[in-house]
Structure 1
Amino acid sequence: MYVSTTTAHHAPTIEQQVFRIISKRKAIRASRVRKTASLARDLRFETLDVVDIILALENQFHITIPDEVPLNTVGDFVRYVRDHAAAA
């Protein structure tokens, strides 16, 4: 019996989608985006860049990211979206 795996190949994971949104913000290579990367220190994002990323993630995943949530690394964004998009 043949089981199609094409669905897995066509549906990007939450992590891949978050990486894509972050890398598109400043047209940086996706290869530079790592879960441990600090948005300010490693990727040189300014506050406005982070706000734009948050808005894009909220729109993409239909979630709300409160101001008080500490989001400093790419991994912080991935974790928050993964935890809250699944609950939505």
Structure 2
Amino acid sequence: MLSQSYLLDAPAGLAQKVRRIISQRKHINPRRLRFAATLGELDFDQLDVVDIILELERRFHLTIPDEVPLRTVGDFVSCVAAQHGGSQRPVA
């Protein structure tokens, strides 16, 4: 699991954008996307995870390595926050 400190350090706007992307890709109410919610709880399959990864990479201009364990919504936020560094702006 990725360092949870990135969840604390991640700008609120960044976390919201990541959750919004996940919400749109899976058609889930963003309120259901708690940081601790596992992908299994949300009925995500491997294709859903790949779609979300590709969208996050496109929007934030980053690369998410295959080795990164993504098990929760918070893992997605942590991964983007770790690479984003606050210096880039996501594409709308």
TM-score (norm 2): 0.78
Q: How does 1:63-78 map to 2 (within 5 A)?
A: 63-78=62-77
Higher RCO by CA contacts (8 Å cutoff, separation 6 or greater):
2
| Unaligned runs of at least 5 residues, structure 2 | 1-11
Q: Give per-residue Cα distances to partners, 1:50-82, cap 9 Å, x unaligned.
A: 000000000111000010100110001101100
1:26 CA displacement: 1.7
> One-letter code of the match for 1:64?
T
RMSD of aligned alpha carbons: 1.4
The CA distance in 1 between the partners of 2:70 and 2:48, in whole Å, is 13
Question: Larger radius of gyration, structure 1 or 2?
Answer: 1
Question: Which residue does the alignment assign to 1:15?
Answer: 15
Moved segments of 4+, more than 2 Å = none
TM-score (norm 1): 0.81
1:16 CA displacement: 0.3
1:25 CA displacement: 1.4
Question: Which residue does the alignment assign to 1:34?
Answer: 34
The CA distance in 2 between the partners of 1:25 and 1:43, in whole Å, is 12
Question: Which residue does the alignment assign to 1:81?
Answer: 80
Question: Which residue does the alignment assign to 1:47?
Answer: 46
Percent identity of equivalent pairs: 55
